[in-house]
A = this chain, B = another copy of it.
Amino acid sequence: MRIVSLMRLGDQEERLQEQFPELHFEFYKHPSCVPKESIEKMDILLSYHQEVNETFIKQATNLKWIMWYATGVNALPFETLKAQHIQVTNAKGVHAQQLAEFLFAFILDDYKEMKETFREQQSKIYNHKRTTPSVAGETILFLGTGVIPQRAAKIAQLFGMHTVGLNTSGHQVEGFNETYSIDEREKVLKKANVIVNLLPETGKTKYLLTRHDFECMNGQALFINLGRGTIVKESILIDVLKSNLIRKAYLDVYEQEPLKPESQLYNLNNVVMTSHITGNGDLNKKLATDIFINNLHHFLNKEPLNENVVDLNKGY
């Protein structure tokens, strides 16, 4: 059995080879380094690269399973995967910790006015009268109620925030004071002080947010996007920020990635940006490999994969 990784996995390579000495592993630095023969003969693929497209998959005639070392699988060619009966699992949950940390780094950076702090320090100003707003009592609205929003919502509650979640059906989820279906969002957008997108990109979520959604917000809202940049067109977001339909945005993901230096987003003073890094963590490869190993035991026993199996019809 041939297992091909399109990235180096550091100390996880040894771990895999020691734990499964009967299997043949190949680790490459980049998709472009993989010999044609390996693509044709591999049974299992480890990757998170955009090079895994329709052309690539059609060459992989022996492929049975892709372990995606990231959460968002939207770049994969679902129809081809279905036609070739290839299963997909992902690294959902691995990024929850880092994302939750960044989410509160962003919220508290804003509410505790950290930039103003640095300005005062640089100017040697001791202004002990300064009062910053509190997150307690604020309403935080999550687009998505999956593993990551749940984790973040529980922390938000401990900070005294009121948590609202949007999901497909509006079903209740632990950690959320209220939940609604995404279609009902108009009635909750206005009362949200912080709006966080953590939805995956699917046919249903791509360009979900329109200018009207931002017009429904209360003008003072903070919009934080840690999900996928395609939740809203960049041109609409720029217009929203220029028109001050919201107070400020913290963005980690963009409609087009990598974000080009020419993007008008760089010219706005009410946006803080990171480079799709909020899920990155030193432990991610280890945690994703934990998931892979758990599933690999099942695969070798000819049992169904049981952790983080992606529904190719839903796209997440």
Interface-facing stretch out of A51-59, A71-79, A96-104, A206-214: A96-104
**Which residue of the partner chain, among B105, B125, B159, contacts A108 with CB atoms under 8 Å?**
B105
Q: Which residues of B contact A100 (CB under 8 A)?
A: 159
**A147 CB-CB contact with B under 8 Å:** no
Give the size of the chain A interface in residues (CB under 8 angstroms).
50
Nearest-Cβ distance from residue A279 to partner chain B, whole angstroms: 10
A126-143 interface mask toward B, CB cutoff 8 Å, 1 = contact, 0 = none? 111111111110000000
Is B112 a contact partner of A102 (Cβ separation < 8 A)? yes
Q: Which residues of B contact A126 (CB under 8 A)?
A: 258-259, 261, 275
Q: Which of A266-296 contact B (CB under 8 A)?
A: 266, 272-277, 280-283
**A121 CB-CB contact with B under 8 Å:** yes
Q: Which residues of B contact A131 (CB under 8 A)?
A: 277, 280-282
Q: Which residues of B contact A273 (CB under 8 A)?
A: 117, 121
Residues in A lying within 8 Å of B, measured CB to CB: 97-98, 100-102, 104-105, 108-109, 111-112, 114-115, 117-118, 120-121, 124-136, 154-155, 158-160, 257-259, 261, 266, 272-277, 280-283
Jot down 26 A-B pairs with beta carbons below 8 A, ordered by A.
A101-B111, A101-B112, A101-B132, A101-B135, A102-B108, A102-B112, A102-B132, A104-B108, A105-B108, A108-B109, A109-B114, A115-B118, A120-B274, A126-B259, A126-B275, A127-B275, A127-B277, A128-B275, A128-B276, A130-B275, A132-B277, A132-B280, A132-B281, A134-B282, A134-B283, A155-B155
